[in-house]
Amino acid sequence: MGERVDLERENRFLAAHASTHDGIYRYFRRRTEGAATAEDLCAEVFRIVWEKSGHGDDLSAMVLYGVARNVLRNYDRSVSRSAGLLGALHLERNHETAGDESLVLEAIENLAPKEREVLLLTYWDGLSAVEVSQLLNTSATAVRMRLHRARKELGRLLQKQSVSEGAAE
Amino acid sequence: MSHDQSVADLLSAADPAHTIADDELIRSRQRSLSFVNSEVTHLSVGGSVHDFHRAPGKRHWGRFAVAGLAAAAVAASVLVGSTLASRPDGTAAAPSATSTSLATPSGTAKSSLTGATVTDSFGNVDYYTTDQGDTLARVAANFHITEKELAEFNGIQPGSALQPNTKLRLIPPPGPMNGAKGTATVDANGIPTSYTIEPGDTLAGITYRFGITDKQLAEANKVAFTYEKGNTYFVRAGNHIQLQKNPVDSRSGQGTSVNNSFGQTIFYTTVDGDSLDSLGYQFRCTTDQLLRWNTAVTADRPIPAGTKVRLIPGEVTIEGAQGTFTVDADGIPLTYTTAPGDTQTQIAFRFGIPEIADLAWANRPLTGTGSVWYTFADLSSGELNPGQTISLNLTKPIHG
């Protein structure tokens, strides 16, 4: 009997892993520096998920993203503590990225954290408003509102950048 | 709406995930599965159990403490970046009877116990025969188990007095237990020698039941000790595994080796005293593998001194690596031309390449963001498109 439970647990875990691993790995790659960190954090997520699977917990994608979000928050805290950069967004700087993209990244960093999170979960991680609302434990309406504000603000920041660049030349 | 559209475009163009290489994903997938214990089919992608004997230690995988599960026992003896062919004498952990520096109350050093011991092939003490004045507490402390355990192993009450000349068992009593429910064979001295794995068994359970370390278990089975998979890739239901190693001649292992560009020994020229066992423990190849890769060697006769033994499949094609290859003057592989169905894992295994990342490094493109230039037929299984000539040599990389 115990074996059947183990097998069931393993299957549930493997199914959750197969369907969400890549997304979660990308989630970390977008928000931390480098592949090694993303790999570490991703492994930590699935270690926790494996433990959860032993308690019969729900292993849906949004639960896993929730775990990832907490793991990232802990990681950011430890990094911020050591670097003294509280609240900084640790986006990977790829030196080969074109100027346009780094301008966008810079604008993203200047968004309010709550708006930025909704924006990136939507456009980078491809989550729906309902999924984002589950993850952030808020209403879908609030998510849409934040998203709208984030888009507007991003447009404004990008415009400002191009203006100030034009002025510098 | 066109404004929204342009925001979406700008954002997705700036998405850092665009730079993620395929092997990065594959690696993370494998690593994040390492918490699942035993019998997971994922760990056998593309080959038999035997083909994974050289599964290497990942370079940075040890950084992350793996909690819980079978790995708990492993954590005590993390072998980060373990090389493949550790010499048997180097890997055998110190027998518990000689590691007296740990947690020994003052005055109860090893020398204080005078009774006879029975040790297994690795030097672990499995039985102790009491002498005048021995107490449960002292015997337990000496062999680094708790008094309660020692009492349990022997079916006696903790704290009870010991009669001289009592043979005490220092490993759990025979028979199934949690994590090791299978049947074992035991030799005339009471040393467990082999074991058949049952579903639900764990590495920790098996090593505990038989009083050996995970590294010793790996050695007994002539497989590399790999921490990152919890070393469970050969712990599968139905497998008959060895718990002890056979004696080897003390003259063995002194022959000359040829390493490939990745530092793995691919040829070994034998000396007197070398045997299939000594080669197997030293280079972690099973007898089956050695016989398959060396048609001149036979199981029933000693290997003549001066025999050049191949330690990788090389010319012997294996499933998932059926293509052709070139070598340099010393027989070290240079290039490989892929055949249909070839996978990275099996190509790496066939030529003694420690990990896929090493193969990738020999084939890194000089421009762009991909980690390799060669192309895949199926990314998730690491299957390559046929007809590509790739580098098997770090010193002679191909960049596309």
| pLDDT tens digits for range A8-48 | 888 888 888 888 999 999 999 999 888 888 988 999 899 88
Cβ-defined contact of A13 to B36 (cutoff 8 Å) = yes
Cβ-defined contact of B10 to A100 (cutoff 8 Å) = yes
Cβ-defined contact of A39 to B28 (cutoff 8 Å) = yes
What integer is the mean pLDDT of B32-47? 46
Q: Which residues contact B70 (CB under 8 A, 6 or more apart)?
A: B37, B38, B179, B202, B203, B204, B205, B230, B232, B235
Cβ-defined contact of B10 to A40 (cutoff 8 Å) = no
In this model, does residue B46 exceed pLDDT 50?
A: no
CATH of the domain at A130: 1.10.10.10
Query: What tokens were used for B323?
Result: 């293509």
Final residue of a domain: which of A63, A92, A121?
Answer: A92
The reply to whether A61 and A130 lie within a common domain is no
The reply to whether A117 and A133 lie within a common domain is yes
AA letter at B21: A
Q: How far from each other are the two terminal CA atoms of chain A, in whole angstroms?
A: 74
In this model, does residue B43 exceed pLDDT 90?
A: no
The reply to whether A109 and A72 lie within a common domain is no
Cβ-defined contact of A50 to B25 (cutoff 8 Å) = no
- Number of domains within chain A: 2
Q: How far from each other are the two terminal CA atoms of chain B, in whole angstroms?
A: 43
Q: Nearest-CA distance from A154 to chain B in Å?
A: 8
The count of other CB atoms within 10 Å of the CB of residue B302 is: 15
**In sequence order, what are the beta bridge partners of B325?**
B336
Cβ-defined contact of B7 to A124 (cutoff 8 Å) = no
Of residues A43, A108, A155, nearest to B32 (C-beta): A43
Q: What are chain B's domains?
A: 110-169 (3.10.350.10), 256-310 (3.10.350.10), 314-400 (no CATH)
Of residues B4, B11, B34, nearest to A104 (C-beta): B11
Of residues A7, A40, A123, nearest to B11 (C-beta): A123
| Dihedral in degrees, nearest 10, Cα atoms B329, B55, B370, B321 | 60
Confidence (pLDDT) at A84: 46
Confidence (pLDDT) at A168: 45
Which residue in A44, A55, A123 has the most chain B C-beta atoms within 10 A of its own C-beta, making it the best mutation to test that interface?
Answer: A123
The reply to whether A85 and A113 lie within a common domain is no
> Which sign does the torsion angle of CA B64, B66, B71, B74 carry?
positive
Final residue of a domain: which of A73, A92, A111?
Answer: A92
- The CA distance from B349 to B355, in Å, is 8
Strands B383-384 and B389-391: unpaired
Confidence (pLDDT) at B184: 94
The reply to whether A69 and A147 lie within a common domain is no
The reply to whether A12 and A85 lie within a common domain is yes
Q: Nearest-CA distance from A42 to chain B in Å?
A: 7
Which residue in B28, B74, B202, B228 has the most chain A C-beta atoms within 10 A of its own C-beta, making it the best mutation to test that interface?
Answer: B28
Q: Which residue of B has its CA nearest to A95?
A: B369
Confidence (pLDDT) at A50: 87
Range of the domain at A106: 98-169
SS3 B129: strand
> Which sign does the torsion angle of CA B348, B354, B356, B360 carry?
negative
Of residues B15, B24, B35, nearest to A46 (C-beta): B35
- Residue B362 contacts residue B372 (beta carbons within 8 Å): no
What integer is the mean pLDDT of B51-73? 33
User: Which pLDDT band holds residue A2 (cuts at 50, 70, 90)?
Assistant: low
Cβ-defined contact of B35 to A91 (cutoff 8 Å) = no
Q: What is the pLDDT of residues A52-90, one digit of tens each?
A: 887 778 888 999 999 999 999 888 877 766 554 434 444
The reply to whether A83 and A122 lie within a common domain is no
The reply to whether A114 and A85 lie within a common domain is no
User: Which pLDDT band holds residue B379 (cuts at 50, 70, 90)?
Assistant: confident
Task: Identify all chain B residues contacting A94, using CB atoms and an 8 Å cutoff.
Answer: 16, 19, 369
The reply to whether A13 and A85 lie within a common domain is yes
Final residue of a domain: which of A33, A59, A92?
Answer: A92
In this model, does residue B60 exceed pLDDT 70?
A: no
**B130-142 burial by CB neighbour count: b if 16+ within 10 A, else e?**
bbeebebbbbbbb
Q: Which residues contact A65 (CB under 8 A, 6 or more apart)?
A: A20, A23, A24, A27, A125, A127, A131, A135
Q: Nearest-CA distance from B30 to chain A in Å?
A: 9
Reading phi first (left if > 0) and then psi (alpha if -120 to 50, else beta), residue B377 is in: alpha
The reply to whether A140 and A63 lie within a common domain is no
Among A122, A164, A125, residue whose Cα is nearest residue A146: A122
Secondary structure E strands in B270-366: 308-310, 324-327, 333-337
Cβ-defined contact of A29 to B20 (cutoff 8 Å) = yes
Of residues B14, B16, B40, nearest to A29 (C-beta): B16
Q: Nearest-CA distance from B64 to chain A in Å?
A: 7
Task: Identify all chain B residues contacting A42, using CB atoms and an 8 Å cutoff.
Answer: 28, 31-32
Confidence (pLDDT) at B9: 83
The reply to whether A105 and A84 lie within a common domain is no
The reply to whether A71 and A105 lie within a common domain is no
* DSSP 8-state secondary structure symbol assigned to residue A121: H
What integer is the mean pLDDT of B21-29? 83
Cβ-defined contact of B14 to A30 (cutoff 8 Å) = no
Q: What is the pLDDT of residues A135-160, one digit of tens each?
A: 998 888 889 999 999 998 988 888 87
Phi, psi (deg, nearest 5) at residue B323: -80, -170
Cβ-defined contact of A124 to B17 (cutoff 8 Å) = yes
- Residue B163 contacts residue B130 (beta carbons within 8 Å): yes
What integer is the mean pLDDT of B56-70? 33
Q: Where are the alpha helices (DSSP H) in A32-96?
A: 34-54, 61-83
Cβ-defined contact of B14 to A105 (cutoff 8 Å) = yes
